[in-house]
Amino acid sequence: MSDNANSVNMTAPSRGYHHGDLRAALLDAGLDLLKSGSAETLSLREVARRVGVSPTAVYRHFPDKAALLKELCIRGALELAQAQAQAMKAAGGGRKGFAATGGAYIRYAVANPVLFRIMMANMPPGGFFSSDFSDDQVGIQMLRDNIISLVPKEAGEEGVLFGMLMSWAQVHGLSMLMLDGQVPVSEETIKAFESSRLEFRFVPDQPSE
C-alpha cells in the first residue's frame, strides 16, 4: 500500500516495509478485536487491516488461522487465571477465596463473550492442563489446591479430580449459559453463586427415594 495516509503504526520504528514486530502486533490486534466483541468471527483479513498490513502477511507468522487463534486462546487463559488469582487474594483466601475464583471466572466470561467462547472452542486438547502456561500460578493449579483443602481426605486422589471436574463444570456451565443467553446475565446471580456452597458425594447404588 503506497497510500500511507492512515498509518496505524503504534511502534516508533515503523519503517515502511518491515513492521517492527508484526507477530506481536497481530496478536494484540486479534485480542483487541475479540474483546471488542463486535464481529462474531474475527477474520485474518480484518486483523491484517487493523495492523495496516496486507491480508496475507499473516501467513509469514502463523501457518493458518487456527494457529493465531490458538495463541490468542493462551493469552486469554492467562488473563483469566490472573483475574482469578487476584480475586482469590482480594477475598483473603480460604473458602471465600475459592468461591471468588469461581465468580471471577464467570465475570471474565461475560465480560469477554467472544473471546471466551473462541477460547474454549480452540484451546488445544487438554489445554488448561497443558504446560504451555503453567509457568505461573494458573487457574487449574489453584483449583487443585483449593479442592484438596475442601474435599474430605478419605476421598483420595480420585475424589480430588472429581471435585475439580465438578467445580469447573459448575462455573463453566453457568458462564456458557449466560453467554448463550439462556440465563440472564446478572451480577446478582453471580453473587448468589459465590455465596452458595456446593457439595457432591457419591451415593451407593440404592433404591431411589
Q: Binding residues for DNA, per CB under 7 A? A: 1-2, 15-19, 22, 41-46, 53-57, 59-61, 64-66
Which distant-in-sequence residues (6+ apart) come within 8 Å of 30 by Cβ?
42, 47, 68, 72
Count of residues near its own copies by CB under 8 A: 48
Query: Least CB distance from residue 33 to DNA, whole Å?
Result: 10
Burial of 131 (0-12, 13-18, 19+ CB in 10 A): exposed
Tell me whether residue 56 or residue 86 sits nearer to DNA (CB atom).
56
Among 149, 164, 93, which residue's Cα sits nearest to residue 101? 93
**What is the footprint of its own copies within residues 100-119 (CB under 8 A)?**
117
* 176: partner contacted, choices its own copies, DNA, none (Cβ within 5-8 A by kind): its own copies
Q: Which is nearer to its own copies, 45 or 96 (CB)?
A: 96
Query: Exposed/middle/buried for 27, CB within 10 Å: 0-12, 13-18, 19+?
Result: buried
> Would you count residue 203 as binding its own copies (CB under 8 A)?
yes
Cβ 51 vs Cβ 109: under 8 Å: no
Amino acid at the residue 87: A
**Residue 15 C-beta: closest distance to its own copies, Å:** 40
Q: Which is nearer to its own copies, 60 or 95 (CB)?
A: 95
Nearest-approach distance from CB 12 to its own copies, in angstroms? 39
Q: Is 18 or 153 the residue whose CB approaches DNA more closely? A: 18
Q: Is 170 exposed, middle or buried (0-12, 13-18, 19+ CB in 10 A)?
A: middle
Q: According to CB under 8 A, which residues from 155 to 194 bind its own copies?
A: 162, 165-166, 168-177, 180-183, 189, 192-193
